[in-house]
Amino acid sequence: MAEDLKITEGSIIEQYKDIIPQILAIIADERDLVANLANIVAALKEQFNWFWVGFYLVKDNELVLAPFQGPIACTRIAKGRGVCGDAWEQSKVLIVPDVDAYPGHIACSSHSKSEIVLPILRNGTCLGVLDIDSSALNTFDEIDAQYLQEVIDAIRF
């Protein structure tokens, strides 16, 4: 596997179109879940430089912090708590343009201003979430959801 990521400049779509095939190639070669989650967050952080990129995995009916890049974060989130717990409970992608306006948002950092959370669904069961925080308002939209979903779908459990 190539060890250097090719980082692209350009529109957000151009960036996704360049980085996603690289991510898919990296994780296709490896069977270990933690190794793959770690490389996914590293690649996304390196390309987009978002404030925080990480996974939470469902363990014993809680979301537990998994590989991430960024400042330290809360380790456990209950179902229906915060954006992550809501995305888990609702099995739905949640896009939050302003975290301060989101009821129940869990502020791991005051620098986080907007957020997207994608549930990882397999046979209708949520196994975890991908959580991305931005230090700017209104960072994420359906384009992000669409491209990030391609990464979610490629993760093998």
Task: Kindly list the residues in this chain that would bind ligand SME in the complex (CB under 6 A).
Answer: 52, 73-74, 77, 82-85, 105-106, 108, 112, 115, 131, 133
CA-to-CA distance for 37 and 141, rounded, in angstroms? 22
Q: Identify which of residues 83 and 95 has a Cβ nearer to ligand SME in the complex.
A: 83
Indicate the residue whose CB is closest to ligand SME: 82
Nearer to ligand SME, 45 or 105 (CB): 105
**Residue 46: count of CB within 10 angstroms of its CB:** 13
CB closer to ligand SME out of 22 and 134 = 134
CB of 155 to ligand SME, least distance (A): 19
Smallest gap from Cβ 40 to ligand SME, in A, equals: 15
Q: Is 10 exposed, middle or buried (0-12, 13-18, 19+ CB in 10 A)?
A: exposed
Tokens of 85: 């717990």
User: Which is closer to ligand SME, CB of 58 or CB of 106?
Assistant: 106
Q: How far is the CB of 117 from ligand SME (least distance, A)?
A: 7
The secondary structure of 27-45 as a DSSP string is: HHT---HHHHHHHHHHHHH
Residue that is written with structure tokens 């990464």 in the block: 151
